[in-house]
Structure 1
């Protein structure tokens, strides 16, 4: 079996059917380019036609492949500056270390993270430390996979409060064109999703979620059909909501 996905990517195929390509009232633009010296530039922007709010960011990335290093600089229209340094496959194969810092000149706020990820066959592990003046928060996640079956656990420990603030568990099954995902968050929120790739052009997904101690049950069904290599059409319906339909390019770009 290949390396299992990270905990955050469990059930991702179904989530993408529901969340991507439905940019009503939102115009997005992404541009990527690469210089002759190997520096990658990426800029993206979005405009909300209802609120007239415009967001954007600029990212530069340089990879020093010989030493497994990646340097990334980020700037957003919120005037937040970010620096990220990544070391991969140097200490041991499959291990990735990331040092991430952010600084906002307007407010003077600073933040930092140390991220570790270890990926090998049958296992995907991650531990992040989010530094804060009150005390660091430790985030951990693990996913194990065997013959298509997946099981994962995710937790957050707040050192300032000396208690566990998040405890999630997930189980799933994945094949080439079918995925089943179930999860329990903090023992109170339950969810599940099914993804099916019918053929090269048609993908479908079903999502169900409910919260213990309440009558709130959420159900959704969605489908995505690719009419041509650069065009797609989508449809989704949620319980107690009107159906939605949208179009978007199959390979990114402007979503209308």
Structure 2
């Protein structure tokens, strides 16, 4: 039986993470406009207004894809005067191998960063190695091995200058078409997170995540549960609540092909009767996406 390519380390437990984190625009107002030209150049303009501070942040991005030669070039410029450049080359040197160079530059503050990555994917294996050129330099490697739905992954960072391992993490899980279970050991195995995702039916999804930090002074386990329900082919509703009593609601509606509106609401149920809590405890926001 042929084995599929397992998810990357970053996507380990992605189903539950997206269910609990995505489509809740509660921090302000967001707008994203994306267009594609006939020459495979994508332009994206995105901006957000923070609901608490009122600060506005945005960026403009151009992305060119050469499918024939496996080349992708991305250039972005943000309102904080940060220049981001990314060059990707995939399946050219060897099948399953992707090379990635990502750089950032802030001319005003003379800050720069460059990260060189190599990703190799094959059935049952997904591995990546990166080097942060200007920080350390630091070498990071991660690997995920999968077979018959069972997944095992690990990540470690090595500081070349100090000659020491600065970070290590591990994870195990099981993934099936209808459900997925993952267990992460993060922060040098000082924080443990267990997550669960279940596609109950074609219209209903449910999930939960529990986090235990051995270094936390408050102790106990943080718990969050959520669900997603499709109302029809163009709309869905999401809801989640954590053990601190914060309830979040999200509603996403496709207004027409390429136009999506999302609305979010966060309520601190422990302060519903506190008139002085106001915006600090309860938040509302929206995001509009235009894609053509």
The TM-score normalised by the length of structure 2 is 0.83
Instruction: Assess if the C-alpha contact under 8 Å between 2:226 and 2:239 holds in 1.
Output: yes
Note if contact 2:81-2:106 (Cα within 8 Å) is conserved in structure 1: yes
- Point out where structure 1 has 5 or more consecutive residues left out of the alignment: none
Cross-structure match for 1:237: 241
CA RMSD in angstroms comes to 1.7
1:10, CA displacement in angstroms? 0.7
Residues 105, 213 of structure 1: alpha-carbon distance in 2 compared, 3 angstrom cutoff: closer
Residue number in structure 2 paired with 1:167: 168
Q: State the alpha-carbon separation in 1 of the partners of residues 248 and 86 from structure 2.
A: 38
Q: Which range moved further: 17-26 or 168-177? A: 17-26
- Once residues 253 and 49 of structure 2 are traced to their aligned partners in structure 1, the CA distance between those partners, rounded to angstroms, is 17
The answer to whether 1:246 aligns with 2:250 is yes
- Aligned partner of 1:59 in structure 2 is 61
Q: Secondary structure in 2 aligned to 1:240?
A: coil
More deviation, 236-245/104-113: 236-245
**Aligned residue in 1 for 2:10:** 8
The aligned counterpart of 1:28 is 30
**Greater shift after overlay, 119-128 or 216-225?**
216-225
Q: CA separation in 2, counterparts of 1:148 and 1:3?
A: 11
Deviation at 1:252, TM superposition (A): 8.0
**SS of residue matched to 1:51:** coil
In structure 2, the CA distance between the partners of 1:74 and 1:242, relative to structure 1 (3 Å rule), is: closer
SS at match of 2:18: helix
Alpha-carbon distance between aligned partners in 2 of 1:117 and 1:62, rounded to the nearest angstrom? 20
**Aligned equivalents of 1:212 and 1:169: distance in 2?**
16
- Tell whether the 8 Å contact from 1:30 to 1:253 is kept in structure 2 after alignment: no
2:99 to 97, 113, 120: 97
Q: TM-score, normalised by structure 1?
A: 0.94
1-structure distance, mates of 2:259, 2:147: 33
Q: How far is the alpha carbon of 1:94 from its aligned partner?
A: 0.4
Q: Which blocks of at least 5 consecutive residues in structure 2 are unaligned?
A: 264-292
Tell me which residue corresponds to 1:216: 220
Question: Aligned in 2, Cα 1:137/1:254: closer, same or farther, shift over 3 Å?
Answer: farther
Q: Please list, as runs of the form range in 1=range in 2, the aligned pairs for 1:111-190 lying within 5 A after superposition.
A: 111-132=113-134, 135-185=136-186, 186-190=188-192
Q: Shift of residue 85 of structure 1? A: 1.2
Alignment match, 2:41: 39
* Runs of 4+ with >3 A deviation: 249-254
Q: How far, CA to CA, are the matches of 2:76 and 2:167 in structure 1? A: 29
Q: May I ask how many residue pairs the two structures share in their alignment?
A: 255
2: CA distance, partners of 1:138 / 1:252: 41
Which string of whole-angstrom CA distances, capped at 9 and with x for unpartnered residues, describes residues 143-178 of structure 1? Answer: 000000000001111223221111111000001010
Distance 2:115 2:253 in 1: 34
Greater alpha carbon shift after TM alignment, 209-218 vs 136-145: 209-218
The 2-side partners of 1:101 and 1:223 are apart by: 38
Question: In 2, Cα distance between the equivalents of 1:86 and 1:195?
Answer: 32
Tell me if the contact between 2:40 and 2:66 (Cα under 8 Å) persists in the aligned partners: no
SS in 2 for 1:9: coil
